[in-house]
Structure 1
Amino acid sequence: MPSSSSSSSSSQVKGKHTLTRKRSKSINFQGTNEKTPLMPLAVKSGGGTTSFDDNIDYDDDDSATTKLVAKGRAILCLVAFLYGTLNVSLRLIYQLDSPPTAAALSSTRGWLASVCFVPLLLWKQPTAGTSSTTTTTTTTTTSSDSSVMSGSADSEGSSSKSTSSPIWMAGLELGLWNFLAQGLINVGLLSVGSARASFLTQTSVIMTPLLSIAAGQTVSKSVWVGCSLALGGLTILSGGGGGGMDSASSSSALLAFSSGDILILTGAFSWSLYLFRLSKIAPQFDEINLQAIKTTVLAMFYTIWLGVSLWQNPEGTTWAWATNGVAWLALIYSAVAPGTVADILQQQGQKEVSASEANVILSLEPVFAALCAWLLLGETMSGLESVGGGLILLAALVATR
C-alpha cells in the first residue's frame, strides 16, 4: 500500500525519527519504504507526542532470561543436595534395630510430607483472592497488549488456557509417574542385584532427552555431552552393574535382560516421564498447590502398597521402630527437607530449565550423598568412586554451558 503521510499527523523530535501514524496501525519511517506494525510506545498522559527511542536496549530481555535460567539451575543443585541427604537419613533408619519395611517407611514418610503442606496452604489462603485478582489483571493487560502487536496472540493464549488440564489432574499424573518410578524399581530389586539395578536406573539420564526429541523439542549438544558424562560417572559409582565379574561375563550379563531388569528400566522411564511432564506442567500451576496434591496422591499410592504387603505377609511387617525417637526424627527430616521443600524447589527450578538439563543436574545427588555420608556417617569414597563423582560434576558444568 502506498504511503499517505500528507493526510496524517506527524511530529518532529530532535534525535528521533519522524513518525507517521497511519489508519492501518503501522509506522512509516520517513525516508524509507519500511512499515512495521504499531508497537506500544511511550505516550504522555492526556495525549501528547508519541516517540520511539533509537536507543532501546533489547538485550535486557535476554539478560533477564539468562538470570532466570541461572537461578533455576542453582535451585536444582540445592534439590540434588537435599535428595543426597535423603539417602543418608534413610540409611540411618535402616541401621536401627527392627527397621521398617520399604512400604511402611514410604507410606509414613508420604503422609508426613503431606501434613507439611498444611501450614503452607493455610498461609497462602488469605492472599488467594488477591493473587487471583492480580493474575486476572495481568492476563487481561497482556492480552490487550498482544492484540495490538498481533491479532492472533490473544486467540493463541485463549487456546492454550482452554486446553490446560485442571490442577488435580496434573497432580494425579505427577504422583502416578513418581510412584511408578519408585515402586517398579523396588519390585525389580527383589530379583536384581543392587549394583545392576543402579546401572539400569541411571539410564533415565539418556531417556529424558530422547523423550524431549520425541516431543519435537531440540536438545543442545552440550546437554547431550553432559548426559553421556553423567551416565558414565553414575555407572562408575554403581560399579558398572557388573560386580566382580570379568568384562566378558559382565557384557553378556548386561545383554541378558530378565523380568526384574524390565521392571527397573520401566521405573527409570517413569522417572524420565515425571521430569519431562513436570517441566511442561510447572509454569501452569502454583508450586505449593500442585505439589501438595501430588504428594497426597503419592502417599495414597504408598498406603495401598503397604496394605497389599500387609495382606500378603502380615508377619513380615514390624512396628517396633515406631517407638524409636531417632527413627521419627530422621523420618520427619526426610519428609520436610528432601520431601516438601525439595518438591516445591524442583518445580520452581524446572520452570526455567529443560527436563534433560534438569536430569543431569539432579544426577549430582549421589555426589552430595557421598559427601554427607562422609561428614555424618564417617564413610569414605574409593578412588574409583571419586572419579565417578568428578565425571558427574563435569557433566553438570558442561550441560549448563
Structure 2
Amino acid sequence: MTASPDFQAKSAWTMTLLLTGLALINFLDKIVLGLVAVPLTAELNLSPEKFGVVAGSFFWLFSLSTVLVGFLANRFQTRWLLLAMGLIWAALQLPQAWATSALGLLVCRVILGAAEGPAFPVSVHALYKWFPDRKRNLPVAVINQGAAFGMLLAGLLIPLVTRQWGWRMNFLLLGAIGAAWSVLWACFGREGTLGRPKAAPIVQIDAQRLPYRRILADRSVLSVFALGFTAYWTLGLSLTWIPMYFEKGLGFTGIEAGRCFAIVVATTTPVNVGLSWLSQLMLGRGVSARKARVHLICVSAVAGALTFIALMLLPLQPLQKVALLAIACALPTLSFTLAPALLAQMVPDSQRGSLVAIHTALASLGAAFAPAVMGRIVQVHGGANSHAYELGFAVSAALLIAAVLAALRWLHPDRPHHTLDHLSTRAAA
C-alpha cells in the first residue's frame, strides 16, 4: 500500500517531535509524586494506604475529562486543545509546590489529572491527521518514548533536585518546563490534513457516523479496552510505587532508587520501539492486523505477566529484581502504541478522536485503582520488605493474563471493520 499523496513527511515528523515533548512533560508530572514519596510522606505524615489514595487521585477525573475533550477533538482543532492543556499544566504546578496537607495535595492531583487526561488521545488524534494507517505505529511509539524519556529524566534528576533544594522545588521546575513547551507549540504547532473531507456534503459526513452504543458493544472494541486497562494498571504501579519499592523494599538509597528507576524506564524504549517497528514491518509485508497487532500485544503482555510472577517466586538479589522488573514493566507498554491504531482501524475517522479518548478514559481507570490496591497490600503486609510490593505486582500479572485471553478470543480488528462499514453503508442508503 502506498502512502497518501497528501502525506507530508517533514511536517508530520516535526509535529511528532513537538508532541513527544508534550508526552515527556506529561509523564514528568505523573511520576514526580512517586519519586518524592519518601520525604513527602514523612513531612505530611502519610501512611502507605493514604499515600496510595493521594497517588491514585490523579486519575479520578482523568477518565471523565478524557472523554469530554475527546468529543471536542472531533469538532475543534487539536492545535488549540493541546495549547490549552500545556498552559493549564504549567499553572497547576504552583499549588502543588505549596501544598501543606494531604487534602491540599489530593485536590491538586485531582485537578491536574483532569487537565492531563486528554493529552494522549488528543495527541494521537492529531498525529493521525498527518500519518496514513500503515505508517501510524512508529510515530505513536515515538510519542510513547517521550513519556519514557520523561520518566528516565525524572529518575535521574528528581532525586538530585530533592536532595539539593527539597521536594517542592521539583514542582516549580515542572511549571517552567510546561510554560516553555506551550510557547514552542504556539509558534510551530499546526493541524494535519489527512482524512479531512473535501467538499463533502454534510449529509454524507453524518452518514459515516455510527451509534456509539453499537461501537462500544463490539467485543473487539471491548477487548482493546481490557488490554489498555491492564497496561494502565501496570503503569499506575510504576508511577507511584516502584521508587518506594526500590528504596524501602530492596534497601537502596534515594539516589540509587532513582537510578534503578531510570534503568526500568530506559528498558521500555528499545522494547516498545522495537516491537512497534516489528508490527509496522509485518503490516507492510501484508500480514493481517490480527497477527501484526493483536497477537504481538498478547505475547508481550503474557511475557510481562510471567516476569512479574518470577520476580515474586525466584530467590534473587536486589539488582536482579531490578532487571526483571524493568522487563516486566516494558512489555505491556506495547498496548499504548497499538491500541489506538486498532481502534482507528475499526471506527470511522469522524469518530476516531472520541473513541481513542473513551479508550484512554476507561483504560486509565486501571491507573486509578492500582496505587490504592498496592497501598492496601503494603499496609497489611508491611512496607519494609519486598514481598508486599511483589504481591501487588502479581495482581498485575493476573489482570494481564485475563485480558490476553479475552483478546485472543474476541479481538478481530478486520471483522468489526467490515461490520461497521456495512452499518455505515446502510445509514447512507
**TM superposition score category, shorter chain reference:** 0.3 to 0.5
Q: What is the TM-score with the length of structure 2 in the denominator?
A: 0.36
Larger radius of gyration: 1
